[in-house]
A and B are shown apart, each in its own frame.
Chain A
Amino acid sequence: MFSFPNIAYFIPLLPLLGFLVNGLGRKHLSKGAIAWIGSGVLALAFAASLVVFLNLPSGGPTLLNAFDFIRIGELRIPFAFQLDALSSLFLLIITGIGFLIHVYSSAYMHEESAEHYGRYFAYLNLFIFSMLLLVMGANYVIMFIGWEGVGLCSYLLIGYWFRKPAYTQAANKAFVMNRVGDLAFLIAIFWLIARTGSVNFVDLPAALSSLSSSDITWITMLLFVGATGKSAQIPLYTWLPDAMAGPTPVSALIHAATMVTAGIYMIARSNLLYTAAPLTLNVIAVIGIATALLAASIAIRQNDIKKVLAYSTVSQLGFMFLAIGAGAYGAAVFHVMTHAFFKALLFLGSGSVIHAMSGEQDIRRMGGLKKVLPITYFTFLIGCIAIAGIPPFSGFFSKDAILLSAFLKSPILYGVALFTALLTAFYMFRMFFLTFGGTFRGTDEQKHHLHESPLAMTLPLMVLAVLSVIGGWVGIPELFLHGGERLIEFLSPVIPVVEGHAISHSTEYLLMGLSTGLVLSVIFFAWTRYRQYRSEESSAPFARLLENKWYVDELYQTAIVQPLHRFGGWLRSFFEPKIVDGLIQGVGRSIRYISQQIRLLQSGQTGNYALWMVISIVVILSIQFFVRK
């Protein structure tokens, strides 16, 4: 029961249990109990994940068959879990970082009333449960259940403060955008079932032979559209920045441990299909780099501390898709992991800042927080260095792997990616200097309230800071360390390693040196520019364009949302009352009329009845004997 592999059942069940207890008992439990239950189940789930990780047999996956979920004719879809290198790695990330975020939340949300506190933790647990289901599922259908669950929970948590209409609208937006992607995912699943009759991951290698190349292209494209919804890529990325409406730890959860990594995971899971679809890979690479660049450019001019981080996530996800497009699935997964560390750190750090600033999120009104929030300052700095990609911090290794793969694919991609990486360093340190450097620019009241956060919040920051530093060491390239790239090797049962880097050591050194040198100089540039705050009000058209996020939201609004609204209005004002209702009521009315007429046959006269019967008998017998042969 408590040994491998059956212990894996506990990993999703524990958060589900936490969800049920906290959700149902939210009116009866104290806040302390809720926090202990919510975080406790995650700690246990993390321990179970660790057991799974350590006992994982090398080679093929371990399958846990719970029961047959769907059985129709030939189609059999088991409710099964798949434990292998990829899923166990994600299990550790989700439960580990999820646990830290739960601990952090227990302090961050302390002002909520017990009932809402319980609701919050229940949603959080359900979120983790859904994500675990997504990752552990041994076929696309189970994955889809988790996928939908994640979408639902993000909706619930983004709209957690449901009394503010703007927040519920943000929640709505996230949900609707995700649904667009989900539809594509669903079609891909049906396509797969129609062609191969199986949705199990273990059957994928066999399925490849029964799929035509156009099938593969379509399926992979549809799956990718699904991934753009969850992982916030062009064109479905605009929900993620709006999702900042939720409590900050939720943002951390969405951006680091759950949700946005789902798309990457799904494609990494399907890497066999993607490798057979070069066209899709090219599309992914282009979409990935375009998203990365677009989001990074927007982030430069954002003043909301969480918005900057949100766009940076979109941008980093673009990097991951670039890696996938270049065929380096391992690098993408590697970046998911390091990104989870430093992005969780940055979000929780920003939460700590917001907490100290009494809810203020505008970096123009911060400044000089270095002295008041020493722990937050220090850990935030580590996070910024990690995301900027300076060795030996974790972000460097994963980003370097991605840049290298881009270089191998095409020098143009590499160039754009490098430029984007520089933008990343720029906007991160712009935010960093504006927040922590210079002098305080907020109100006196805010100044009076400034304080370092409690241990429950700073401890997760410190743990994540350590991980942000050392987390990349599992992927140190061969170049520096013989027997490096441990992660790629670990993942090799799931993601086959493509041999033959056609690149010399000197080029590799050169590329690394180039990126590191440029990043450092960009940081220096940011320091000179933002060391002391000055207003950036600018009417330059390009700056306005960036500030307004390239007007993409407005474009969607006029091109898609408003026509749909108008169409809906027309349906409501004309089509439904006139045509639909008219038709339905017409049917009803005519049936009543016929009923009224037929009723008259029932005259009450026995002779009449007998006459009708005789006539019927005569008619039937004449037809039978004279008309039918």
Chain B
Amino acid sequence: MNLLLLAAFWGVLMMFISLSGRSHATIRLIAQVGMGLLFLSTLAEMQGFLIYDLKAAEMFAMDRYGLVMLSVLSGCGFLYFLLSGRDMANVGSDYSEYFSLIFFIFCGFVLVLSFTSLLMLFLGIEIVTIPLYILTGSDKRNLKSNEASLKYFLLGAFSTGLMLMGIALIYGARGTFSTMEVVGASGIPTRLLLGGLFLMFFSLAFKVSAAPFHFWTPDVYDGAPTVFTSFMATLVKVAAFAGFLRLFDHAFGSLKTTWQIWAGAVAVLTLIIGNITAVYQQSVKRLLAYSSIAQAGFMMLGLYGLGDGAREGMVLYAASYSLATIAIFSVLTRMNDYTIEGFNGLAKKDPWIAGILAVCLLSLAGIPLTAGFLAKFYMLQAALSAKYGLVVVVIAVLMAAVSVYYYFRVLQAMYFRAAEEGAQFPAFSTGFKRVLTLIAILILVLGIQPGLLLHYLYF
């Protein structure tokens, strides 16, 4: 719970700091320090250190799994601030407010990862999404940004409605919000309860952009300012998945036979649509939007094959996917040309950056020795144990092969194409490169020794 308190405090702090008229550099530094503290405080909590014991077990209770997930999120958030903090200034004039909103979103993460009551889940999801509507539309003079924000808000409201309806049905069926009691020991669930379960399933599938509830994703990700797309596509999605998993594990675990097949079907559909549509994209930003759908398909396999293996896999997936995507987005934000051709000849101009991008792309594609490979491996292994697992795994592997196609298009552009006449590449600072290098190293280390991260789940 350390993170909740600190994030709330820092959110308020960042909100008012703009009044003092500090320079961008100071604001950024304070935000980075704040995010670093969030990360450290989570690590400290894992060692048993609590700033203040909130004692609200009937509302939320943090467990080991949530803490590990939270440390991954805040760690990646820290790297995200280091890499992209500067670029937020280009979006609009409300620099410190952007940081403030992100800190509030982290408050939402805590609730999503620790809820014991359906109401808290709802609250957490809303605390995460409402600031996102604002961030999506933060480039006020840009029509696309405004359009994306409105679309996101309309469809988001729709899914919020579904969730509330679901919670209401469940309350109607069981008379409680507690995740421990909503299903109970009684044998056959009533239709009312199942209806609620499915409405929540749809709503959460929307939040993680799983097909066929993914339609908002490409438009919103494409329209939003690129720095914030990076944040939405990674940490928010991962946190939503963690909440998804937590709900269906803790509250609906005993009804697995009912929903499992649907999780599998949604996973397969998401994999197919995400990967196949990505093949045709010409803009790297849109390509990454579809890739995020495709990766969501893999994370859905974690829900499908829910168990210890899937839980471990989800942590690894969260780390590997977020690290690689944040790194690619951070470079993309600074590029002048977002098309794949814009990356032509980057390897000649800046071999170091190209090399790191290559590691990230390989990890997303799931090539061995990278964290992405092991993350996919864990997910596939988990899925294999479920009913019809083999069919699902075969499709997933085929779709992973398809994903190689579009990830490698970027690689091919960087390494095997000559830069176009007069193409301008941005200059990358040394500090930026160092952080990127750290990310590449983390991806490789996790790809060889995932136990370094996963053993925190147990000790």
Contacts and interface: CB of A to CB of B under 8 A. Distances in A.
**Are A and B co-members of a single complex?**
yes
Interface of A: 588, 591-592, 594-596, 598-599, 601-602, 604, 606, 608-610, 612-613, 616-617, 620-621, 624-625
Nearest to B269: A616
Contact of A599 (B191, B194, B206, B277): B277
6 tightest A-B CB contacts, nearest first? A609-B215, A595-B280, A616-B212, A595-B279, A595-B276, A606-B151
A598 B405 CA distance: 17
A598 B270 CA distance: 12
A165 B219 CA distance: 62
Interface string B401-443: 0100100000000000000000000000000000000000000
Contact of A591 (B162, B218, B279): B279
Contacts of B377: none
A600 to B, nearest CB: 10
A612 B262 contact: no
Q: Is the interface of A mostly helix, strand, loop or mixed?
A: helix
B212 A612 contact: yes
B147 to A, nearest CB: 9
Contact of B280 (A596, A601, A610, A612): A596
B65 interface: no
Contact of B219 (A592, A604, A612): A604
A613 B206 contact: yes
5 contacts: A596-B280, A617-B202, A624-B194, A624-B258, A624-B262
Contact of B198 (A595, A596, A624): A624
Contacts of B391: none
B66 to A, nearest CB: 29
A613 B280 contact: no
A610 B162 CA distance: 12
A601 B211 CA distance: 12
Contacts of A595: 276-280
Nearest to B212: A616
A613 B215 CA distance: 8
B154 interface: yes
Given A612-B215, A613-B212, A602 B191 contact: no
A625 B151 contact: no
Nearest to B258: A624
A604 B216 CA distance: 9
B291 to A, nearest CB: 13
Contact of B276 (A594, A613, A617, A621): A594
Interface in B119-151: 150-151
B338 interface: no
Interface in B357-402: 402
B155 interface: yes
Contacts of A620: 198, 202, 262
A610 B402 contact: no
Given A591-B402, A595-B280, A617-B162, 18 more contacts: A591-B405, A594-B276, A598-B277, A599-B280, A602-B215, A604-B219, A608-B215, A609-B151, A610-B155, A610-B158, A612-B215, A613-B155, A613-B206, A613-B212, A620-B202, A621-B198, A624-B194, A625-B191
Given A604-B219, A621-B198, A625-B191, A613 B277 contact: no
Interface residues of B, number: 28
A616 B277 CA distance: 19
A617 B158 CA distance: 12
A557 to B, nearest CB: 41
Given A612-B212, A620-B262, A598 B276 contact: yes
Contacts of B162: 617
B273 interface: yes
A594 B278 CA distance: 11
Interface in B274-310: 276-280
A621 B262 CA distance: 10
Contacts of B258: 624
A438 to B, nearest CB: 67
B171 interface: no
Interface in B247-281: 258, 262, 273, 276-280
A616 B155 contact: no
Given A604-B219, A620-B262, A598 B198 contact: no
Contact of B279 (A592, A613, A617): A592
A604 B144 CA distance: 11
B9 interface: no
B63 to A, nearest CB: 31
A320 to B, nearest CB: 45
Interface in B201-241: 202, 206, 212-213, 215-216, 218-219
B280 A592 contact: yes
B213 A616 contact: yes
B326 to A, nearest CB: 25
Contacts of B279: 591-592, 595
Contacts of A598: 273, 276-277
A621 B191 CA distance: 11
Contact of A602 (B195, B198, B276, B277): B277
A591 B276 CA distance: 7
Given A595-B279, A595-B280, A609 B155 contact: yes
Contacts of B402: 591
Contacts of A616: 202, 212-213
A93 to B, nearest CB: 42
Nearest to B162: A617
A602 B202 contact: no
Interface string B332-354: 00000000000000000000000
A592 B213 CA distance: 23
A595 B403 CA distance: 12
Contacts of A610: 154-155, 158
Nearest to A623: B262
A623 to B, nearest CB: 9
Contacts of A594: 276
Contacts of B195: 621
